């Protein structure tokens, strides 16, 4: 029997200074951990509509979803699987304020993100998708792997803050 799959989305939003928008989860799963704004896709809702809704509910900001970045699977309660699809997004308005499932909503630099307790696999996925600086690592389990890299090829250097 195949595990129940729960479709979810996440929004990767950066400001002009390269900071990333994060929320601190206020409820399980991952209560107290930092993550991207996002959540479950409702019945009949597109991924893009879910991104807009979740960003608004969790951060008070209006956003326009953009390019698909990648997908990850994470364990969910009762043996189910969260099937999370992350999209770039751009803020178009609103006032930053934590709401809905978010205990806090903040802009963080890549260096600051490295010191925060984040949801499992978040930093690895963002690095693999070139959102964060560093060597690309494959977040597991990814369903859309990129081209194979030769050891030492195309190193990505850490950007200064």
End-to-end CA distance of the chain: 48
The structure tokens listed for 51 are 């991104």
Cβ 81 vs Cβ 73: under 8 Å: yes
Q: What is the pLDDT of residues 41-94, one digit of tens each?
A: 999 999 999 999 999 999 999 999 999 999 999 999 899 999 999 999 999 999
pLDDT of residue 100: 78
Are 6 and 80 in contact, with CB atoms under 8 Å apart? yes
The residue length of the chain stands at: 161
Residue 134 CB-half CA count within 13 A: 14
The residue with tokens 């307790």 is 117
Single pTM value for the model: 0.81
Q: Helix (H, G, I), strand (E, B), or coil: what is residue 112?
A: helix
Give phi and psi for 73, each to the nearest 5.
-115, 140
Give the position of tokens 């029997």. Answer: 1
Each residue's pLDDT tens digit, 94-119: 999 999 789 999 999 999 999 999 99
Nearest-angstrom CA–CA distance, 30 and 118: 9
Using DSSP, how many helices (H) and how many strands (E) does the chain show? 3, 7
């Amino acid at each position: 029997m195949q595990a129940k799959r729960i479709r979810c989305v996440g929004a990767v939003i950066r400001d002009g200074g390269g900071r990333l928008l994060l929320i601190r989860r206020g409820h399980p799963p991952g209560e107290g951990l930092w993550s991207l704004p996002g959540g479950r896709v409702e019945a009949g809702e597109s991924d893009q509509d879910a991104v807009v809704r979740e960003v608004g509910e969790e951060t008070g900001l209006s956003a326009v979803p953009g390019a698909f970045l990648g997908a990850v699977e994470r364990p969910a309660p009762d043996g189910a699987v969260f099937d999370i699809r992350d999209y770039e997004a751009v803020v178009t308005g609103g006032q930053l304020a934590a709401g809905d499932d978010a205990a806090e909503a903040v802009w963080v630099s890549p260096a600051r993100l490295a010191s925060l307790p984040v949801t499992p696999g978040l930093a690895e996925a963002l690095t693999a998708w070139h959102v964060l600086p560093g060597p690309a690592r494959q977040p597991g389990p990814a369903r859309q792997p990129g081209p194979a890299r030769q050891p030492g090829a195309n190193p990505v250097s850490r950007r200064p803050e």
